[in-house]
Amino acid sequence: MKIVLTHAYFIYEDVKEQEIMRPYPTLGLLYISAFLKDQQKDVTLIDSTFSTISDWQQQILSENPEIIAFYTNLMTKVEVLQQLQFLKKELPKTTFVVGGPDVTYNQENYLNTGFDIAVIGEGEQTMLELVDALENKGDLTAVPGISFLKDGNLHENEARVKIKDLPSLPFPDRSAIPFEKYLSVWKEHHGKRTANISTQRGCPYTCKWCSTAVYGQSYRRNDPKRVVDEIFHLKEDFGVEALWFVDDVFTVSHKWLGNLHAEFAKQNLTIPFEIITRAERLNETVLSQLKDMGCFRIWIGAESGSQRIIDKMDRRVTLETVQEMMQLTRKFGMEAGTFIMVGYPGETHEDITATMDHIEKCNPDLLTITRAYPIKGTALYTEIENEITVKPDWNTSTDRDIRFKLPYSDAYYENAIRYLVNGWQAHKNKSLKNKVKSKAAYQMMRVAK
């Protein structure tokens, strides 16, 4: 049975990404491809990132697959739905499968748009059993981790048990995609052939705005030796020069990190890399180990400069700890980046000005600011569900487009972002121009209240 794995992200349709050019392949599909190939399945991964839509469509049609499995997320959902309609007309006998973080809490919506089967959670074992069932015309109700429509109603099978033995999984099937193109783009725009790598599944924390739809609130980690083996594989087989560890909280386990540090030393390995973690999971020993292994940048979340809002988010960290660890990260010679969210329920004007003070104390090298939006399935969504004021058509929008009751206007929050970004740049670069822009945005905030 011929299987095609794909997604529908096209970098040349993404104006913002063309400005920064930091593309990474979809690791979930690469893991599934490798897993299915290990089981002798006839699988082709068609990567859309650097294709035109028409070229990608022709690639899929030329395979004439019996199964097409899409990965989707908030960013790609609308394009996936559009391409589904085209492909269903051209391949009426094909079974269409969908999986990814946006699917778990929107199963019925995806199935009603034309997908035949939804994969919930991790995809490796589920896809294997699903392919076996379809090949043998078996009972789909016996496959854990999927859902489908039965007599017009949603039928959801029992949940799939999460994979505990991560080292048993093969390395992601990077040879199945134009991986060299990703690395060349990184080299051209950022100076190093950079790849993404995963060592962890699940996150044990309960931040209300964060989705754990695929891997859940578990904590499963790859063996340090296995991680180092994969890094050498990337270096030797693909010429990778730097890494982005995609794990939610890279330093959650100090014991694991110590073992990884020891394995790096044993194998005489250093490689530039960046990570995301939490402030309270850092200390001088951890920072020293990270620096020694090659870490050059640490992203440390705070999301707000108001302790009251941080507590409402269930972040379980203090502002003082965030500020201290960001300053300490820079003292160790690594860049410190942070994330800020505006428009969280209950946030006031005073909370946003407190966030400006927090940013100045942290003095991050990099800053990402977004407006809060409720992802279905999160505690935040549950909290504001009855206060949603704008909920666009599901087929043509994403959760980013949802609006809920807030004390200020949209213009207020747009100017709040300008106020914070320009204030950060003014403080960081001693820029009079940015200081003026920040003050102007602040005045517009007050007008837009």
Q: Which structural domains are found in the chain, ordered by start?
A: 2-156 (3.40.50.280), 166-372 (3.20.20.70)
CA 409 vs. chain centroid, Å, equals 29
Nearest one of 416, 437, 251 to 348, comparing CA atoms: 416
* Gap between the Cα atoms of 12 and 59, Å rounded: 17
Asked whether the beta carbons of 137 and 100 are under 8 A apart, the reply is no
Specify the length of the chain in residues: 449
* Gap between the Cα atoms of 43 and 67, Å rounded: 9
In sequence order, which residues have a C-beta less than 8 Å from that of residue 350 and are 6 or more positions away? 306
**Per-position pLDDT tens, the chain of length 449:** 999 999 999 999 999 899 999 999 999 999 999 999 999 999 999 999 999 999 999 999 999 999 999 999 999 999 999 999 999 999 999 999 999 999 999 999 999 999 999 999 999 999 999 999 999 999 999 999 999 999 999 999 999 999 999 999 999 999 999 999 999 999 999 999 999 999 999 998 889 999 887 788 889 999 999 999 999 999 999 999 999 999 999 999 999 999 999 999 999 999 999 999 999 999 999 999 999 999 999 999 889 999 999 999 999 999 999 999 999 999 999 999 999 999 999 999 999 999 999 999 999 999 999 999 999 999 999 999 999 999 999 999 999 999 999 999 999 999 999 999 999 999 999 999 999 999 999 999 999 98
* End-to-end CA gap in the chain: 59
* Gap between the Cα atoms of 51 and 305, Å rounded: 41
Rg, C-alpha atoms of the chain: 23
The CA-atom distances, in angstroms, between 421 and each of 112, 311, 312, 339, 352 are 41, 23, 23, 11, 12
Strand order in the sheet with 42-46: 42-46, 2-6, 67-71, 95-99, 117-119, 146-150, 153-156
* Gap between the Cα atoms of 171 and 240, Å rounded: 15
Entry pTM? 0.95
Strands annotated E in 322-392: 335-342, 366-371, 388-390
- pLDDT for residue 215: 81
* Gap between the Cα atoms of 281 and 283, Å rounded: 7
In sequence order, which residues have a C-beta less than 8 Å from that of residue 316 and are 6 or more positions away? 205, 206, 280
* Gap between the Cα atoms of 273 and 196, Å rounded: 10
- pLDDT for residue 218: 84
The CA-atom distances, in angstroms, between 241 and each of 193, 232, 235, 363, 394 are 5, 11, 7, 28, 41
In sequence order, which residues have a C-beta less than 8 Å from that of residue 366 and are 6 or more positions away? 297, 299, 335, 336, 337, 338
